[in-house]
Amino acid sequence: MATWLTFDLSTITPEEGAPAPDRLVSGNPTFRTWNFEEAEGGLYAGVWEATPGKWRISYDEWEYFHVLSGHSVVTEEGGEPVHLKSGDSMVLRPGFKGTWEVIETTRKDYVIRT
């Protein structure tokens, strides 16, 4: 087994999904997730894409992500909105609660640790 991994979207079929109905705030967003790494100890890495809409988020895990394309707004409860566009990165820590709003279809790569 190789000790490196590339994210080649053409080599994997994405999982499709959407926010749970009780989390949906507006729109009809859909997700596509290319999960390239699922390692022991709860480590995940891949690419995620969402279409426009807004939903509530709540994190029990730690996530680093880098926006590859699009425009999204992440707002922590009681906080100011953070606009994210291509080239922006963010870490969401366990305990984060707020909303994710996709203004323009957004694609990001991510690393999640549970």
Closest C-alpha among 75, 65, 66 to residue 102: 75
CATH of segment(s) 34-113 = 2.60.120.10
Q: How do the domains of the chain map onto residue ranges?
A: 34-113
Q: What is the pLDDT of residues 54-94, one digit of tens each?
A: 999 999 999 999 999 999 999 999 999 999 999 999 999 99
- Cα angle vertex 88, ends 82, 91, to 5°? 70
**Cα 77 to Cα 56: distance, rounded to the nearest angstrom:** 10
Higher-confidence residue of 2 and 106: namely 106
Q: What is the pLDDT of residue 2?
A: 86
